[in-house]
Structure 1
Amino acid sequence: MALLETRKYSQGSALSGVNPDLASERQTPSFSVEKLTALLDGGEENTRIRRAVVEAIENDPVFSRENQYFQSQNEKYEAAVRKAVHLQKKMHEMGWTENGPEFKYIYSALSGEIAFLLHSVFMRSISMLGSDKQVAKWIPLATQYQLIGCYAQTELGHGTYLQGLETTAVFDVATQEFILNTPKISAIKWWPGDMGRSATHTVVFAQLYVQGKCYGVHPFIVQIRSLWDHSLCPGVTAGDIGPRMNFEHTDNGYLMLQNVRVPRENMLSKFCEVQPDGTYVRQGSQQINYFTMTAVRITLISYEAVIPLMKACTIAIRYSVVRRQSKLKPGEEEAKILDFQTQQEKLLPHVAAAYAFHFINDYLQDLFNRGYEEIQRENFDMLPELHAFSSGFKAMVTQHCASAVKVCLLACGGHGYSLLSGLPSLCTKILASCIYEGENTILFLQTARFLIKCFMAASAGHPVPPSVTYLAAVKPGKCPAKNKLDFLSPDIYTNAYQHAAVRLISSAAAKLQDLIQSGVKKHDAWNECTVQLVQAVKAHCHYLTVKNFVETVERLETKGGIQRIMKHLCDLFALHGIFSNTGAFLHDGYISGAQMDMVTASYLDLLAVIRKDAVPLVDAFDFTDKTLNSALGSYDGQVYQRLYEWAQKSPTNTQMNPAYERYLKPLLHKKLAKL
């Protein structure tokens, strides 16, 4: 254990020893922390590989995050580029490859603070949407960084609504080229990472026009900077979009195109192609051009939402057993704030949610892999379900995690507001995830279209995808729970979630049908139902997350105490959802008022049970101190010493005060003369 502890909190600090209040929390866990870490990693071998990657990166001074809270935007950008360039050398040195088992851990080990992240999306777009010939040409160049790619989709005037994009690509049969333009200010590409100062090439999404006819949005490879001197190419205007809430290390950029010509071969053409004579040929659905987005959404659930939530929970839980404030009992010392039920109720449900979302992300990744295999065989049947799932779960998980990280910050009181706590940067990072790769409300409504279609099909006795077969199995009746312990039965609460989801989906579908039958136009009827449709999608996603958590727990081995603690977390996640959304469950009397009191009692009882394992549960996330980069969340719990030590590093404490000579001195000396 001593070696593990040293590895966790070695931070180049003079501090030593673990805070006794934190150490006491680790003495009697009800489960094996190491086994739980291995479960989260998908096996002991994966844990070993991940730790080796983290260690190699953290021991390399080029990747140091020390003093980053004091850096300017330019300094953060330069550091991110330096790390990205050095990473190529590091990967070669360590024998890591893009297809190797280590690769997926690199981003987490670097905490995402590295340039060229959109380069991987550029490559993924070409791999998924490019022809064999295009893949053979562009992927080796991109892999060897003979070019730097990014992904230009979002515009000033349009983001998630891709059909509304205004950038155009007109095919010129005479020259066999596409002419790309951003014809108005709202068409300027805006926000792409790596575009402001770094990228040489980009995948541009534009409306395809052939002989005057529009064929919708398609992807094109466009060179925007010279490979020789990095100057902008003719017809290209690009730059950084200016200060933002986070992502100072990323040169989020803008792009204007004026009659920029690219050869016909630069339209990604695995599924859609313009032939030399101008004939347009397409395989499968137009939606296939958005498939990169589906892949990115599923990836970001883990890296941009679940991992930041795990980090925030780790910081807040550890701080909450070190921070003592007020007295629970007269005459005793001040209590650990995690011993207060209100603090437990703030934080522990979010620890449970972090586990629930980790497991649903595994489920989604598996679904995506199966869908991708089918698409490779040119079977597009799973595309609607994949699109709906990636949209709905991206929206639900990021929204929940953004709210949860804010709670973690507030739960740390005043110190949570210090950048040195690590929480503000997590908060702003996760908040952004609610908007990029699809704004959440629009994504909920895209999933709603899929659910309404499936509900109508199920009602008519037609087959529907496996994930929504429950829509046909409506079980009338009431919740059979007789006492509070009954609500610790997965069948009881899973059926309650299923009932609420079916009720909300069927209710929204009925309202939609009634409006249409009464003569309201379809699009107007849809708009009048959107608030209820969003509620229905949230209920659907929440139900599937609970169901998946239950099924995951059932598959676990009983040894090591893992299944027991996961069952407690699953119960807590489910009951917190009912406790927080009482209206959805009380609405039609499926759960009675008396039963809701039972839910509350069981929920509050669970807080006290899980409280005992709170620190081991976040320790199992296995973040090193350097990864957390938090004065409040370090493994040793030396919070106050570290806050003071880090504050001394602020450049303002060693620089001449620029305001003194100009403002303070005249002000003070004027008063002194009178004295």
Structure 2
Amino acid sequence: MSDTSFIKDLPSGPLDAYRDRATFDWKKMKLFFEDPDLLKVKMRVWETLEKDPIFQTPKTELNSEEMKRRSALQLRKYCQLSFVTPEMANLPYKRKTRYMMTINEALAVTFPDVSVKHAIGIGLFKNTLTTLGTERHKNVLDAAWKGKILSCLALTEIAHGSNTKQMRTTATYDKTRQEFIINTPDFEAAKCWVGNLGKTCTMGLLFAQLYTNGQCYGLHAFLVPIRDPKTLLPYPGIVVGDMGEKIGLHGIDNGFIMFKNYRIPRENLLNRTGDVTPDGDYKSSFSEPGKILGAALENLSTGRVGIMQESANNLVCAVTIAVRYAAVRKQFAKSPDERSELPIIEYELHQWRIFPYVAAAAVLKIFVAGFTDEYLATVQKSTSATQIEDLTSYVAEIHAVVSSGKPLITWICRDAVQECREACGGHGFLKSARFGELRGAIDPCVTYEGDNNVLGQQASNWLVRQWEKTKVGEELCTPLETCAFFRRSGEILRRKFELELVQDVLEMNFIHVCYEWLITYLVEETYIKQQKLLKEGFCKTEARNKSQVYCASVLTRVYAEYNAFRFYCKELSKAEKSLEGVLQQLGLLYGLVNIDKYSSYFYQGGYANTPLFSHLVKGGVLELCKTLKDNILGVIDAMAPPDYVVKSVLGKSDGKLYENLQNAIMGNPDSMTRPHWWREIIVPDAPDFKQPKSKL
């Protein structure tokens, strides 16, 4: 971690007043947040894109169609640049994949539209083919690797999204011609919101209900040619189009598609988990049909991990803009006689609004990086194992972490973007401030690749299953040990709050103790409520649905927060001595702010029984904000990407806020021109008060 020579110095300017107060070397802290080799990869991507004309910010506003054209051209150029070096290609699976994910991560934080097009049309498509396909799909996989085809994943339907089992697009096997016949029964079954489908892709990876010999075998994946690659015109039997204007990510051509007796070869079925013989017999490597769907859809976790990475990086950009702005923007003085105004970062209210999101950015950045490594290790085990079922426990826990982590990070990023925008006042509403773009990028993330609330239910279901095991004395299935403390549930639930001073809650162990108690209490409450509902005659699904509010949904979020905190603490133990103090303060602020949100549960469950608990936690939050103030800009510099990536007139690293604003406002090509429609608003007899009155 000592070699920081490859990290460029930041420009001197108005931000120096706060940079000089930092008690640590921001470059060394950057290497706490970033793997040095992966950071070099990101820097190479950013420097290359910054020099390329197609990746420059347009001077004028583009309409939706032009944004799609521009994103398509940027994607083609990005693929041509080929950032994957020969050295990377020869690395072991985990490290190689980490490099490739880092390259995509660098693109995502800079050009989210292009990143999504690439992730869906190339990355996720290749992963799905590798996971679910076999040797007979190698020619398609090779074409995807070489960037010769752009694909899409068609799963969601107009009337069904999260409830995948009820999707109604069908693929019926015709053994006389050894083909599958794809049909869309009606518009409600049309595949929709499919990225790349609206205008550009030529191949689709379609999920449809497989029928053969009159029997349905559930949802399977099929390769479906969509457009002629020479003309981009759809093939006969297909109705395909664009979804229309959206509220963000305008460069992505989200589309819909319907099929009428559209035929594809039998071999286009991705057949690793199940296959159909030429005679129409269905063969599966799974003993339980329900596991086929799980194996097919588990591959989507890769996309969710990517969303977690992208959202954590967007969160960093949001707080970077807000903190740099707050360190320069001055408002009011201590007294009417004073001429010297204070930077708004000095105000406690402003610190309380922004600093917790800085802490969240730090914790979540470390969490995503650490969890990605664990996730890839599990994927590597699954691809090398002879039986996927042997990894059921790993896969289930990974799914629980992803299903809770993706909602947590995307929701925090969504809220942070709004708070940071407001903290920058009216200037934050400028498009050049970039909050609008960040909002447009994060908003769909709470919905696609799994609606956040539905994903959360899957995580809470897993936690309740583990809790049920403790009730009957069975061993927990938690190889990653994210809920291993359930084994100590009796001792945990007997704990009581007995601290007396603010300093007592400023300890990492206090955060651990609170999280363990809160998760254990919430899982017990959820379990009790579900058991009560079952005894009242409700089915299992109804019992789960009726125990979400105030129970399971809160449990899921707290579980995700705790996982993030655990990963952060693990990495903190490896930090250089000079960084420990500030990094610990960030972790404490993250934890205390969250505990404060759930204070009612601590009182409800009997952990706390006097107002002192709430007073000390709140006091700890304010104390940490005050303590972190002089170091907060150094933390931001350590996490922030270059100005080219932040892309904000308010958040430039030179701190020349008003000079940059002047250049942005007055440099707008249309800023000082007369509108072309000026004649339409002229009032013929309007008085001209500039002209002098004639003398009588």
TM-score bracket relative to the smaller structure: over 0.9
1:25 matched residue in structure 2: 18
Moved over 6 A (4+): 3-7, 92-98
1:211 matched residue in structure 2: 213
1:83 matched residue in structure 2: 74
SS in 1 for 2:482: helix
Q: Determine whether 1:38 maps to 2:31.
A: yes
SS in 2 for 1:433: helix
- Determine the C-alpha separation between the residues in 2 that align with 1:79 and 1:107: 20
CA gap 1:374/1:89 in 2 versus in 1, 3 angstroms: closer
- Determine the C-alpha separation between the residues in 2 that align with 1:616 and 1:207: 54
Query: Given residue 547 of structure 2, which amino acid in structure 1 is its aligned partner?
Result: C
Give yes or no for contact 1:53–1:106 (8 Å, CA) kept in 2: no
TM-score (ref. length: structure 2) = 0.90
2:584 matched residue in structure 1: 567
- Determine the C-alpha separation between the residues in 1 that align with 2:351 and 2:618: 14
SS in 2 for 1:542: helix
1:483 matched residue in structure 2: 501
Match of 1:123 among 121, 126, 137: 126
- Per-residue CA deviation, residues 21-68 of structure 1 (Å, 9 max, x unaligned), is x121111321221111112222x3333332223212212223212437
Query: Given residue 40 of structure 1, which amino acid in structure 2 is its aligned partner?
Result: F
Give yes or no for contact 1:294–1:387 (8 Å, CA) kept in 2: yes
Following superposition, the deviation at residue 289 of structure 1 comes to 0.5
Following superposition, the deviation at residue 503 of structure 1 comes to 0.5
Q: Determine whether 1:394 maps to 2:406.
A: yes
Following superposition, the deviation at residue 265 of structure 1 comes to 1.1
CA gap 1:523/1:51 in 2 versus in 1, 3 angstroms: closer
Q: Determine whether 1:418 maps to 2:425.
A: no
- Per-residue CA deviation, residues 308-358 of structure 1 (Å, 9 max, x unaligned), is 000000000000111111223443322111110111011111111011112
- Per-residue CA deviation, residues 360-401 of structure 1 (Å, 9 max, x unaligned), is 213321332232123220233222222222111111221122
SS in 2 for 1:208: strand
1:12 matched residue in structure 2: none
- Determine the C-alpha separation between the residues in 2 that align with 1:359 and 1:672: 64
CA gap 1:160/1:520 in 2 versus in 1, 3 angstroms: closer
1:538 matched residue in structure 2: 557
Following superposition, the deviation at residue 472 of structure 1 comes to 2.7
- Determine the C-alpha separation between the residues in 2 that align with 1:660 and 1:222: 52
1:467 matched residue in structure 2: 482
Match of 1:448 among 451, 456, 460: 460
2:93 matched residue in structure 1: none
Of stretches 407-416 and 98-107 in structure 1, the one that deviates more from structure 2 is 98-107
Match of 1:345 among 344, 349, 352: 352
- Per-residue CA deviation, residues 237-268 of structure 1 (Å, 9 max, x unaligned), is 21221111111111111111111111111111
Following superposition, the deviation at residue 132 of structure 1 comes to 3.0
SS in 2 for 1:380: helix
1:626 matched residue in structure 2: 644
CA gap 1:205/1:651 in 2 versus in 1, 3 angstroms: farther
- Per-residue CA deviation, residues 481-506 of structure 1 (Å, 9 max, x unaligned), is 23211111222221111101111111
Give yes or no for contact 1:359–1:552 (8 Å, CA) kept in 2: yes
Give yes or no for contact 1:49–1:102 (8 Å, CA) kept in 2: no
- Determine the C-alpha separation between the residues in 2 that align with 1:182 and 1:670: 63
Query: Given residue 71 of structure 1, which amino acid in structure 2 is its aligned partner?
Result: L
Matches within 5 A, 1:262-281: 262-281=264-283
Query: Given residue 312 of structure 1, which amino acid in structure 2 is its aligned partner?
Result: A
Q: Determine whether 1:669 maps to 2:672.
A: no
1:331 matched residue in structure 2: 337
Query: Given residue 140 of structure 2, which amino acid in structure 1 is its aligned partner?
Result: W
Query: Given residue 554 of structure 1, which amino acid in structure 2 is its aligned partner?
Result: S
Q: Determine whether 1:498 maps to 2:501.
A: no
Of stretches 572-581 and 647-656 in structure 1, the one that deviates more from structure 2 is 647-656
Following superposition, the deviation at residue 7 of structure 1 comes to 7.4
Give yes or no for contact 2:113–2:250 (8 Å, CA) kept in 1: no
CA gap 1:547/1:328 in 2 versus in 1, 3 angstroms: farther
- Determine the C-alpha separation between the residues in 2 that align with 1:147 and 1:423: 34
- Per-residue CA deviation, residues 439-483 of structure 1 (Å, 9 max, x unaligned), is 111111111111111110122121221222222311212023232
Matches within 5 A, 1:345-384: 345-376=352-383, 377=385, 378=387, 379-381=390-392, 382-384=394-396
CA gap 1:292/1:189 in 2 versus in 1, 3 angstroms: same
- Determine the C-alpha separation between the residues in 1 that align with 2:264 and 2:510: 60
Give yes or no for contact 1:65–1:626 (8 Å, CA) kept in 2: no
SS in 2 for 1:612: helix
Following superposition, the deviation at residue 647 of structure 1 comes to 2.8
Q: Determine whether 1:549 maps to 2:568.
A: yes
- Per-residue CA deviation, residues 190-232 of structure 1 (Å, 9 max, x unaligned), is 1111111110001011111122222221111101000222111
- Determine the C-alpha separation between the residues in 1 that align with 2:254 and 2:566: 39
- Determine the C-alpha separation between the residues in 2 that align with 1:196 and 1:644: 39
Give yes or no for contact 1:458–1:469 (8 Å, CA) kept in 2: no
- Determine the C-alpha separation between the residues in 1 that align with 2:314 and 2:341: 31
CA gap 1:501/1:106 in 2 versus in 1, 3 angstroms: closer
- Determine the C-alpha separation between the residues in 2 that align with 1:142 and 1:177: 23
Following superposition, the deviation at residue 435 of structure 1 comes to 0.5
CA gap 1:622/1:672 in 2 versus in 1, 3 angstroms: closer
Of stretches 412-421 and 101-110 in structure 1, the one that deviates more from structure 2 is 101-110
Of stretches 207-216 and 350-359 in structure 1, the one that deviates more from structure 2 is 207-216
- Determine the C-alpha separation between the residues in 2 that align with 1:254 and 1:166: 15
- Determine the C-alpha separation between the residues in 2 that align with 1:85 and 1:673: 55
Gap runs ≥5 in structure 1: 10-17
- Determine the C-alpha separation between the residues in 2 that align with 1:328 and 1:167: 67
Give yes or no for contact 1:7–1:624 (8 Å, CA) kept in 2: no
- Determine the C-alpha separation between the residues in 2 that align with 1:236 and 1:568: 58
Following superposition, the deviation at residue 405 of structure 1 comes to 1.6
SS in 2 for 1:652: coil
CA gap 1:489/1:7 in 2 versus in 1, 3 angstroms: closer
CA gap 1:189/1:45 in 2 versus in 1, 3 angstroms: same
Matches within 5 A, 1:272-311: 272-284=274-286, 285-286=291-292, 287-303=294-310, 305-311=311-317
SS in 2 for 1:202: strand
Gap runs ≥5 in structure 2: 90-95
SS in 2 for 1:661: helix
- Determine the C-alpha separation between the residues in 1 that align with 2:664 and 2:579: 37
1:13 matched residue in structure 2: none
Matches within 5 A, 1:228-239: 228-239=230-241
Query: Given residue 317 of structure 1, which amino acid in structure 2 is its aligned partner?
Result: V
- Determine the C-alpha separation between the residues in 2 that align with 1:93 and 1:139: 17
Of stretches 248-257 and 58-67 in structure 1, the one that deviates more from structure 2 is 58-67
TM-score (ref. length: structure 1) = 0.92
1:105 matched residue in structure 2: 103
Of stretches 278-287 and 256-265 in structure 1, the one that deviates more from structure 2 is 278-287
Give yes or no for contact 1:196–1:240 (8 Å, CA) kept in 2: yes
- Determine the C-alpha separation between the residues in 2 that align with 1:19 and 1:489: 36
2:451 matched residue in structure 1: 439
Match of 2:156 among 154, 163, 168: 154
Query: Given residue 587 of structure 1, which amino acid in structure 2 is its aligned partner?
Result: Q
Q: Determine whether 1:248 maps to 2:236.
A: no
- Determine the C-alpha separation between the residues in 2 that align with 1:76 and 1:169: 35
